[in-house]
Amino acid sequence: MESQIARAIHLQYQPVALLWADEKPEGAMQFSEGRWGCVMWLLVHAAKGKSAVADRKTYGCFGGGVGLGFGNQYKNFPGGEEGFCHFLSSGNAKRPGGEELAEKIKPFMTKESHENFLQGERYIKNPEGVRKFIDILPMTDIPAQYVVFNPLAEVDLTRDKPQTVIFFVNPDQLSALTVLANYARGDNENVIMPYAAGCQTIGIYPYREEKSAKPRAVVGMTDLSARLYVLKQLGDPNFMTFAVPFHLFEEMEQNVRGSFLERHTWQSLLLEKRQDKKEK
C-alpha cells in the first residue's frame, strides 16, 4: 500500500511493515544461524526497499530475540540472565567465574562485545537494576515462525495484516507524527518513549500496544548501540524510529487529509528543510 503519511511528511526511506508469518519472502535478507547481527540492520534493509526476516535461530543477538518476540532469550545469554544483568551494567570481570566464561566464549564474539561482556555496557547502574528492567519488559512469544520486515508499498492488506508500521524520521517528522498520533484522540499521551533496546521499541512494545483498546505509538533509537549501527548503514545521525501499531496506523492514515499536514506551518518547515539541503 502507499502511505499518505509518508507522502505528507516527505519520508526519505520507505515505511516498513513488520509482520508475523509462517513463510518467509523469497530472497529475503536473513542472518546466518548462530551469527551475531543487529536487528536494526534488517529494518534498514527493508526501509531501503528489500525484505528481511528473522526466526528463532537467526535473530542476531539475544536482545534481538527478545525484541522480536521470540521469548526470553536472555536465559540463553552466556552466564544466563545473571550474565546479561552484569553485561548491561557493571560487567562480568569481577563476578565469580566471569573471566573464565569470557575466555571460553571469546572465539565467538567481536572484540567490542567481548570487552563489553567483561567491563559492561554501563547502560544501567547495577545488575539489580537490569533485573528490574527485564522484569518489566513486555516479553512476548509470537505465534508464528518468522518476523518479516517488508517495505510497506509491497504489502497487500487484503492478504496480510502488519503488526506494526515503522518510520525512520528526522526531528521535524517525529514532531509531525507525534501530533498526528494525538490528532483525533481527545487526549495527549498517545506516544511513548520507553527505555529499551532499538529492536524492542519496534517489536515487543508496539506488540503490547496493538493489544490495547487505544494503542500508542513508540519512539525508538534512544539505544546508543543501535544508533551507532544504524549510522553506519544510513550515514545520518538524526534518525529516530516511530513504530505505529497497525490499528493506530490506520487511524493516522485516515486523518492526514484536512489536518495540519496541509497547512502553512508544516509546509514552511518542509520548505526550510529543502532550502537548507540546497545550501549545503
Q: pLDDT in tens for each of the 280 residues of the chain? A: 899 999 999 999 999 999 999 999 999 999 999 888 999 999 999 999 999 999 999 999 999 999 999 999 999 999 999 999 999 999 999 999 999 999 999 988 889 889 999 999 999 999 999 999 999 999 999 999 999 999 999 999 889 999 999 999 999 999 999 999 999 999 999 999 999 999 999 999 999 999 999 999 999 999 999 999 999 999 999 999 999 999 999 999 999 999 999 999 999 999 877 766 665 5
Listed residue (39, 62, 1, 228) closest to 148, CA to CA: 39
Q: What is the model's pLDDT at position 278?
A: 62
Residue with cell 539541503: 277
> How far is residue 238's CA from residue 108's CA, in Å, rounded to a whole number?
32
**Long-range contacts (CB closer than 8 Å, 24 or more residues apart) made by 32-38:** 32/58, 33/57, 33/58, 35/60, 36/60, 36/61, 36/109, 36/110, 36/113, 37/61, 37/64, 38/64, 38/198, 38/199, 38/225, 38/226, 38/229
Listed residue (275, 222, 241) closest to 149, CA to CA: 241
Q: What is the model's pLDDT at position 272?
A: 78
> How far is residue 253's CA from residue 6's CA, in Å, rounded to a whole number?
9
CB atoms within 10 A of CB 277: 8
> How far is residue 223's CA from residue 50's CA, in Å, rounded to a whole number?
24
Q: Which amino acid is at 258?
A: G
* Whether the Cβ atoms of residue 39 and residue 65 lie closer than 8 Å to each other: no
Structural Rg of the chain based on CA atoms: 20
Task: Please give the model's pTM, rounded to 2 decimal places.
Answer: 0.94
Widest CA span in the chain: 63
Q: What is the model's pLDDT at position 280?
A: 57
Q: What is the model's pLDDT at position 276?
A: 66
- The residues, any chain, with a CB within 8 Å of residue 13's CB and separated by 6 or more, are 47, 48, 168, 234
> How far is residue 115's CA from residue 92's CA, in Å, rounded to a whole number?
10
DSSP secondary structure letters along 177-205: HHHHHHTTTSSS--EE--S--TTTTTTHH
Q: What is the model's pLDDT at position 241?
A: 98
